[in-house]
Chains A and B, each alone.
Chain A
């Protein structure tokens, strides 16, 4: 179930499907300069939480050269920036009231999505080169130009806007939103996140599962071992599977059946988990079949042989 593709920004506003989302008022959040913003939760028509949204209207230019910011901001369920939308006649502007170009919007999206941007660790004054002044053509005033080292961390001519937005979008609100998501984690939401196809959501959710939940959502975890597109999610899912998994033939054979399809490190991880298991005849044939498909690296051959040998020796014990 793929609801959206993260980090794919629609230049002309939000994707069509978002329009059908219902909004639910959550809380007031005190943003920069003591401005209160209303935080809303957006749900789809199946009542599943999708995004957070806030409407921000604030002035950002200390030198009076820019217009106020009027913008709707969207975060995902982990509190990470997702998207923004500007009101039709009050778009973002740069130095001398030049409107943002499509390229500027893309740049801003990239910057706002970068949680470790340099904007995090510098004061806005430090990003200005005091040697270089820009003279306004429209009003009587000058402003400092962005220091060359920092040009990639901003939209040229809109440093104050970008800086203010970044700190609002990536400030304490992130934490607040994440905690709100944690507070509403129901079985349905856990399932939704695990099955979202979004590896960020999956990593977060796997890490947050307690033992009982790992038991409850075992089928989805197994599915993630076999079919996640991410390099690491299958490993986290494997580690979260209850110990009992490795004693249940119906369960471990499901994982063994994944062997031909999954990546080499995931294969090794599955085999390593099975080294203390006496596999049944179906498991044995799955392993043998996999072995025949070779060639396999030494490490996998050793692991498979160890598992198969364990089977034999325990058979011998039983026949005695």
Chain B
């Protein structure tokens, strides 16, 4: 009886209720249980939770993770639903794909912003290179933000719309028997598969377009429904004694000639070309594809261990294999702009650019491991990064539906470049920030693109939060530093002090370093901003060098980690002193130690000063003190 009363109570106050899983030993009598079973109806079994929020993000992969963080940091209330128990999606410990992006250009274009913050953190605290600790870094960032409600193991299954508005979604948690009915002002489809958009009835694309459809030389003569395949990875470890392996009966059989285009270079982490499913329905046939991939993994490991062709594998044994396959391609939600081959190969500066990509046009043959007589991919390098416009990141069908990840508005050909996770992360930051900005200015993303002044203000906000956009420089009217004079203890020929306020906070391959550089003396090196009149300063923001020309991403593969720095990046300033002066009087002082981030923000009790000095006391090994940018705000 007590329990029934409680249920009625919950129903009355509208929190929803549900039949809890009842253990007869818990103290409820057998009669209570019988009554419970009799009364059980579908909607009673599950606990029903009604939630209202600003921003619902569906999908906790790299795109959704960055979207949620960006929106929450800009003041929005966010519910992040993730249908797995871990964040990171294809990057997480469940799949372990590389977080790839514009570093592949081998120029200077590693992504910045939230992703860079995550990768720098991970490189420092996870020097043991544990994938579960990568999950933890993502988890920590999300749960530490009070604006985010994180719901794990939660899969959306229903979407309610009204005209051009998405109103609410329903989702189910497999672990708690809860149904969430979530209403929000904005919705982000970061599902990868475009599930939310498809359920809403938004326009989407799938398969491979014809050459004619978008004027793409890499298109097909005739369009089809085919996608790139899914991959399942494995990891292995070397032991100090022979480790025999016996394959299951369902493992596929491989021989020497299956590997003419698929090289087994090492055993510790394998291999992106364990790929299947492009010729099947990549979503709905997923159960079969997953098992087929298991049969491939175990078949390949059988080949490695038992063919005699890899005698060095004798002491190696499997230590892990993927829980679910990593998907490359499924639905693509149509936006106001559809990115095509030309946008990737011959990019133009788009006015509404909010992110950039730089992965090659990297299309995989759909047959994958079903046909080992063919080269598994065709990769066309790019000359440089390209812009991603906001118009490709919101649905043309709904005013309040945005998207980031592989399911954005691109052709199949363009997707072969935009699909990689570092690129998806920057899209996530772009839409999360856009949603917060739109909420604050009562605009929709489509209207934001049309309002040039607002669009610029939004891009300036992104830039201030360290998102890079090609050709966008700091013109923030509130940044006091831009009006300051600069002076330094010393400067190198290519690192003038004035470059900390040149508006550009990274190497953009234009011949300038865009940073102040000074030889570190025994007392370090200092740089000073000065104003003609005292300024009220409440926020000081610094951008340091983190070696954006290098790769920085966890990998199970030794060769991928080879030229990375797992730990603080050498170029970065570790210890520094902030000092404010009014005339010759010190009015402010703060010392920071053990920094390893690229962007640091110091919000302090406002002080009035006409000089701000930053003294670099220690770097992480670089003989030069290096600062890209200094910003000051009231």
A residues sitting closer than 8 Å to B (CB atoms) are: 116, 118, 121-123, 125-126, 147, 149-150, 231-232, 235-236, 239, 264-265, 268-269, 272, 297-300
- Asked if B39 is an interface residue, CB under 8 A from chain A, the answer is no
Complex Cα–Cα for A265 and B309 (A): 6
- Asked if B4 is an interface residue, CB under 8 A from chain A, the answer is no
A-B contact pairs, 7 of them (CB 8 A): A121-B361, A126-B346, A149-B383, A231-B260, A232-B257, A235-B257, A268-B256
B residues sitting closer than 8 Å to A (CB atoms) are: 217-218, 255-257, 260, 306-309, 311, 345-346, 361, 378, 380-384
Partner of B307, one of A121, A125, A236, A268: A268
- Chain A residues, Cβ within 8 Å of B384: 149
**How many A-B residue contacts, CB cutoff 8 Å?**
52
Main secondary structure of the interface of A (DSSP, over half): helix
Do A147 and B383 contact each other (CB < 8 Å), given the known contacts A126-B345, A236-B257? yes
User: Are B260 and A232 within 8 A (Cβ)?
Assistant: yes
Taking the closest CB of chain A, its distance from the CB of B158, in whole angstroms, is 43
User: Are B218 and A121 within 8 A (Cβ)?
Assistant: yes
User: Are B309 and A122 within 8 A (Cβ)?
Assistant: no
User: Are B255 and A269 within 8 A (Cβ)?
Assistant: yes
Taking the closest CB of chain A, its distance from the CB of B305, in whole angstroms, is 10
Beta-carbon nearest neighbor of A265 in chain B: B256
Partner of B308, one of A121, A125, A239, A297: A297
Taking the closest CB of chain A, its distance from the CB of B7, in whole angstroms, is 64
Beta-carbon nearest neighbor of B378 in chain A: A116
Complex Cα–Cα for A239 and B380 (A): 34
Complex Cα–Cα for A194 and B81 (A): 61
Main secondary structure of the interface of B (DSSP, over half): loop
Taking the closest CB of chain A, its distance from the CB of B319, in whole angstroms, is 23
- Chain B residues, Cβ within 8 Å of A150: 383
- Listed residue (B306, B308, B346) with the most chain A CB atoms within 10 angstroms of its CB: B308
- Chain A residues, Cβ within 8 Å of B217: 121
Taking the closest CB of chain B, its distance from the CB of A144, in whole angstroms, is 13
User: Are B380 and A121 within 8 A (Cβ)?
Assistant: yes
User: Are A118 and B308 within 8 A (Cβ)?
Assistant: no
Taking the closest CB of chain B, its distance from the CB of A145, in whole angstroms, is 13
User: Are A300 and B378 within 8 A (Cβ)?
Assistant: no
User: Are B306 and A299 within 8 A (Cβ)?
Assistant: yes
- Chain B residues, Cβ within 8 Å of A149: 381-384
Complex Cα–Cα for A264 and B255 (A): 12
User: Are A123 and B346 within 8 A (Cβ)?
Assistant: yes
Taking the closest CB of chain B, its distance from the CB of A244, in whole angstroms, is 22
Taking the closest CB of chain B, its distance from the CB of A17, in whole angstroms, is 32
Complex Cα–Cα for A297 and B306 (A): 9
Partner of A298, one of B256, B308, B378, B382: B308
Given contacts A121-B361, A232-B256, 20 further A-B contacts (CB under 8 A): A118-B380, A121-B217, A123-B346, A126-B345, A126-B346, A147-B383, A149-B381, A149-B382, A149-B384, A232-B257, A236-B257, A264-B308, A265-B307, A268-B255, A268-B256, A269-B255, A272-B255, A297-B308, A299-B306, A299-B308
Complex Cα–Cα for A236 and B256 (A): 11
- Chain A residues, Cβ within 8 Å of B257: 232, 235-236, 239
User: Are B256 and A235 within 8 A (Cβ)?
Assistant: yes
Do A268 and B308 contact each other (CB < 8 Å), given the known contacts A116-B378, A121-B218? yes
- Listed residue (B257, B380, B384) with the most chain A CB atoms within 10 angstroms of its CB: B257
- Chain B residues, Cβ within 8 Å of A121: 217-218, 345, 361, 380
Partner of A269, one of B256, B378, B380: B256
- Chain B residues, Cβ within 8 Å of A126: 345-346, 383
Instruction: List the 8 closest pairs (A to B, CB-CB), nearest first.
Output: A297-B308, A265-B256, A149-B383, A299-B308, A235-B257, A126-B346, A121-B380, A147-B383
- Chain A residues, Cβ within 8 Å of B311: 297
- Chain B residues, Cβ within 8 Å of A298: 306, 308
